[in-house]
C-alpha cells in the first residue's frame, strides 16, 4: 500500500524505503485497519523507527496485527490513491474505482473464501486519506494472488491505479509489506519490503479532517463540485445541478416557524410530521423533495462522496421552498441537514462510537449558507421497538436502513452523531408512547420554543 504524491509529502520510491514522509514533521505515513468488534489498529511502514515516534513498537507489539498479517494464510493490502492534484474529480474517480474493486472482491470466485477488512491510509499531519481494503486468504492460495494481479491489470488505465501490497513474516516475528510493481515487459514483481510498525492511535480519527470534502460538505459549492464531476456518467447529476442553479445563493426564512423532525426509520417520523402539520395548519416538506427523490435509488448505489452530495443539494433545493412557504404559514420538514451529516459521519468514521469526532467538533455545525430551522426534533425509540415496527412495515429497505437493523454499532454512531449536532441542536423526543401522547409532547415543545 502506498501514497500518491501530494504537495508537502515526499512519497516516491526514489527517496528510499523510509523516506515516504510528510515534509513538515518527517512523519511516517500511517494506516488504520478495522478489526473485529469495530476496534482499530494503526501501523506505519518503514525500515527504521522515526525519532518523533518515541513509543513506536516493532510488529510484535500488537498481537492483533500479527494475527492478521503473519502466517498461517496471507494478507494483501489494496489501496486506491487519489490523483496528485487532489481535485474533486480525482476524489470521485478514486471513490468509483474503490467501489468497483470492493464489488469484485466480494463477488468474484477466487476472493469469496477471503476475509475483507476496511483499511485507510493517512498522513499524521493531514493531506487526505486513501481508501483501501485488507484481504486475508486463510489458505494462501496462488489463485488469490493471480486473481489480484488480473484485477490490477484491468485498472492500469486509471489516472491513479490501485496499489497492491503483500505481507510476510520473518524468523524473528517481524512483519513486512512488499509492493507489487508492474515492470515493462516483465509482468508483476515484488519490490523491496518495509517493516510494519504499530503506532499510537491519533487523538482524532484520521478520516475526520477529510469529511468536509468527502461527505459532510460545509457549503453548497462543495457539494456542487462533486456532482459536476459526475455528469459524464450520471445524467441525473446535471438535472440536480440545474435545479440548484435556480435556487437563490442565500435564502431567508419568513416570519413563521420552521420545524424539522428527524429520526431513524420506524420511529414514527412520517406519522408525527403529518399529524403536527395538520395540527398547526403548516406546510409539510420533505428532503430530498419528491421531484428529485425519484433519483434516490440511482445515487444510493454510488460511493459516499456522490451519495452525500446528492442529499446535501437536496437540502439546498428544499431550503428555497422553505423560504417561500414560511412567509405564509408554519413549515414542517421531514428530515433535513442533520440526517445528511449523521449518516455520512457514521459511514465514513470506521471503528466504534469512541472514534466519532468529540462533542463540539466543527463537523457538527450547521452549514454557513443553508437556511436554518427554528427547531429540530429527534424522535427516538428503543432498538427492540424499532425492529418490531420495521417488521410490520414490509417495505423495501435502503442499504443504510438494512445496516441500521443488522449493525448495532452503526446505529449507535448515527444516534450519537444526531445528539452531538449543534447550532441548532436536536430536542430528543421519546416516540415510544401512544401516538396521541407523542403528538402532544411534540406540540408542547414547539409551543415552548417557537412563537
pLDDT, tens digit (0-9, with 9 covering 90-100), for 158-180:
999 999 999 988 777 788 999 99
| Last residue in a domain, options 198, 221, 246 | 198
Helix/strand/coil for 294: coil
pLDDT of 215 higher than 70: yes
CB-CB contact of 62 with 55 (8 Å): no
SS3 assignment for 391-423? HHHCCCCCHHHHHHHHCHHHHHHHHHHHHHCEC
Shared-domain flag, residues 223 and 159: no
Shared-domain flag, residues 252 and 399: yes
CB-CB contact of 180 with 165 (8 Å): yes
| Last residue in a domain, options 198, 224, 246 | 198
Cβ neighbours around 92 below 10 Å, total: 24
What is the pLDDT, as a whole number, of residue 8?
A: 32
Shared-domain flag, residues 166 and 269: no
Domain that includes residue 173, residue range: 9-198
Residue 263 lies in a domain: yes
Count of structural domains, the chain: 2
Cβ neighbours around 286 below 10 Å, total: 17
How large is the average pLDDT for residues 248-269? 90
pLDDT of 23 higher than 80: no
Beta bridge partner(s), residue 136: 75, 115
Shared-domain flag, residues 35 and 127: yes
pLDDT of 22 higher than 50: no
The grid cell for 22 is: 510528510
| Last residue in a domain, options 150, 174, 198 | 198
**Cis, bond preceding 72 (omega within 30 deg of 0):** yes
Q: What are phi and psi of 104, to 5 degrees?
A: -70, -40
Shared-domain flag, residues 190 and 244: no
**What is the C-alpha to C-alpha distance for residues 445 and 430, in angstroms, rounded to an integer?**
12
| The Cα angle at residue 106 between residues 105 and 112, in degrees rounded to 5 | 90
Shared-domain flag, residues 116 and 218: no
Q: What are phi and psi of 43, to 5 degrees?
A: -150, 160
Strands (E), 123-250: 129-137, 163-169, 175-183, 187-198
- Mean pLDDT over each residue of the chain, to the nearest integer: 86
Antiparallel, parallel or unpaired: β 331-334 and 375-380: unpaired
Q: Which residues contact 187 (CB under 8 A, 6 or more apart)?
A: 149
Residue 18 lies in a domain: yes
Break the chain down into helix, strand, coil percent, rounded to 5: 40, 20, 35
Residue 4 lies in a domain: no
pLDDT of 26 higher than 50: no
CB-CB contact of 404 with 265 (8 Å): yes
Q: What is the pLDDT of residues 319-357, one digit of tens each?
A: 999 999 999 999 999 999 999 999 999 999 999 999 999
Angle between helices 408-420 and 399-406 (to 10 degrees): 110
CB-CB contact of 330 with 281 (8 Å): yes
**What is the C-alpha to C-alpha distance for residues 145 and 110, in angstroms, rounded to an integer?**
9
Shared-domain flag, residues 144 and 29: yes
Shared-domain flag, residues 86 and 183: yes
Shared-domain flag, residues 218 and 159: no
**What is the C-alpha to C-alpha distance for residues 121 and 447, in angstroms, rounded to an integer?**
49
**How sure is the predictor about 52, in pLDDT bands with cuts at 50, 70 and 90?**
very low
Residue 3 lies in a domain: no
How large is the average pLDDT for residues 421-449? 94
Residue 1 lies in a domain: no
Helix/strand/coil for 167: strand
Q: Which residues contact 431 (CB under 8 A, 6 or more apart)?
A: 263, 267, 268, 272, 379, 380, 381, 438
**What is the C-alpha to C-alpha distance for residues 335 and 332, in angstroms, rounded to an integer?**
9
**What is the C-alpha to C-alpha distance for residues 192 and 13, in angstroms, rounded to an integer?**
10
Element (H, E) at 40: strand 39-46
pLDDT of 75 higher than 70: yes
How far is C-alpha 182 from the geometric centre of its chain's CA atoms?
Answer: 31
Shared-domain flag, residues 49 and 102: yes
What is the pLDDT, as a whole number, of residue 13?
A: 33
**How sure is the predictor about 44, in pLDDT bands with cuts at 50, 70 and 90?**
very high
First-to-final CA distance of the chain: 57
pLDDT of 220 higher than 60: yes
Shared-domain flag, residues 148 and 227: no
CA distances from 103 to 56, 97, 109, 134, 140 (A): 35, 10, 12, 14, 21
User: Among residues 439, 444, 428, which one has the least CA distance to residue 378?
Assistant: 428
Q: Which residues contact 100 (CB under 8 A, 6 or more apart)?
A: none
Question: The domain spanning residue 316 has which CATH number?
Answer: 3.40.50.300
Q: What is the pLDDT of residues 104-130, one digit of tens each?
A: 999 988 899 999 999 999 988 776 899
**What is the C-alpha to C-alpha distance for residues 179 and 17, in angstroms, rounded to an integer?**
11
Residue 280 lies in a domain: yes
User: Among residues 129, 145, 126, which one has the least CA distance to residue 137?
Assistant: 145
Residue 203 lies in a domain: no
Shared-domain flag, residues 180 and 223: no
Say if residue 297 is exposed, middle or buried (CB neighbours under 10 Å; 0-12, 13-18, 19+).
exposed
Q: Match 486506491 to its residue by C-alpha cell.
A: 80
The grid cell for 169 is: 513474516
Residue 2 lies in a domain: no
Amino acid at each position: 500500500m502506498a501514497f500518491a504524491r501530494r504537495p508537502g509529502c515526499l512519497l516516491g520510491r526514489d527517496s528510499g524505503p523510509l523516506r515516504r514522509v510528510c515534509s513538515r514533521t518527517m512523519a511516517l505515513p500511517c494506516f488504520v485497519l478495522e478489526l473485529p468488534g469495530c476496534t482499530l489498529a494503526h501501523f506505519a511502514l518503514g525500515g527504521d523507527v522515526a525519532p518523533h515516534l518515541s513509543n513506536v513498537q516493532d510488529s510484535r507489539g500488537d498481537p492483533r496485527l500479527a494475527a492478521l498479517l503473519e502466517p498461517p494464510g496471507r494478507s494483501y493490502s489494496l489501496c486506491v490513491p487519489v490523483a496528485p492534484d487532489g481535485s474533486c474529480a480525482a476524489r470521485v474517480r478514486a471513490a468509483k474505482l474503490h467501489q468497483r474493486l470492493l464489488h469484485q472482491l466480494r463477488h468474484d470466485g477466487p476472493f469469496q473464501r477471503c476475509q475483507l477488512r476496511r483499511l485507510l491510509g493517512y498522513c499524521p499531519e493531514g493531506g487526505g486519506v486513501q481508501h483501501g481494503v485488507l484481504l486475508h486468504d486463510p489458505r494462501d492460495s496462488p489463485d488469490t494472488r493471480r486473481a489480484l494481479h488480473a484485477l490490477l491489470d484491468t485498472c492500469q488505465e486509471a489516472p491513479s491505479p490501485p496499489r497492491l501490497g503483500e505481507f510476510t513474516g520473518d524468523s524473528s516475528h517481524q512483519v513486512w509489506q512488499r509492493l507489487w510493481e508492474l515492470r515493462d515487459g516483465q509482468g508483476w514483481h515484488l519490490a523491496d519490503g518495509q517493516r510494519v510498525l504499530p503506532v499510537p492511535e491519533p487523538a482524532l480519527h484520521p478520516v475526520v479532517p477529510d469529511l468536509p470534502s468527502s461527505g459532510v460538505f460545509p457549503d453548497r459549492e462543495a457539494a456542487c463540485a462533486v456532482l459536476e464531476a459526475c455528469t459524464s456518467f450520471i445524467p441525473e447529476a446535471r438535472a440536480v445541478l440545474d435545479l440548484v442553479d435556480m435556487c437563490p445563493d442565500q435564502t431567508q426564512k419568513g416570519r413563521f416557524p420552521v420545524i424539522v423532525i428527524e429520526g431513524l426509520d420506524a420511529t414514527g417520523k412520517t406519522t408525527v410530521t403529518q399529524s403536527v402539520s395538520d395540527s398547526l395548519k403548516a406546510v409539510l416538506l420533505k428532503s430530498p423533495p419528491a421531484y428529485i427523490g425519484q433519483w434516490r435509488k440511482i445515487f444510493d448505489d454510488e460511493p459516499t462522496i456522490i451519495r452525500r452530495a446528492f442529499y446535501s443539494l437536496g437540502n439546498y433545493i428544499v431550503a428555497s421552498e422553505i423560504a417561500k412557504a414560511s412567509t405564509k404559514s408554519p413549515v414542517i420538514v421531514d428530515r433535513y441537514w442533520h440526517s445528511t451529516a449523521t449518516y455520512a459521519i457514521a459511514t465514513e468514521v470506521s471503528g466504534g462510537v469512541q472514534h466519532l469526532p468529540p462533542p463540539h467538533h466543527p463537523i457538527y455545525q450547521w452549514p454557513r449558507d443553508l437556511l436554518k430551522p427554528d427547531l429540530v426534533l429527534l424522535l427516538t425509540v428503543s432498538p427492540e421497538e424499532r425492529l418490531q415496527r420495521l417488521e410490520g412495515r414490509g417495505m423495501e429497505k435502503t442499504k443504510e436502513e438494512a445496516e441500521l437493523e443488522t449493525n448495532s454499532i452503526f446505529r449507535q454512531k448515527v444516534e450519537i452523531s444526531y445528539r452531538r449536532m449543534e447550532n441548532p441542536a436536536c430536542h430528543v423526543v421519546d416516540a415510544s408512547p401512544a401516538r396521541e401522547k407523542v403528538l402532544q409532547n411534540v406540540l408542547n415543545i414547539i409551543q415552548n420554543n417557537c412563537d
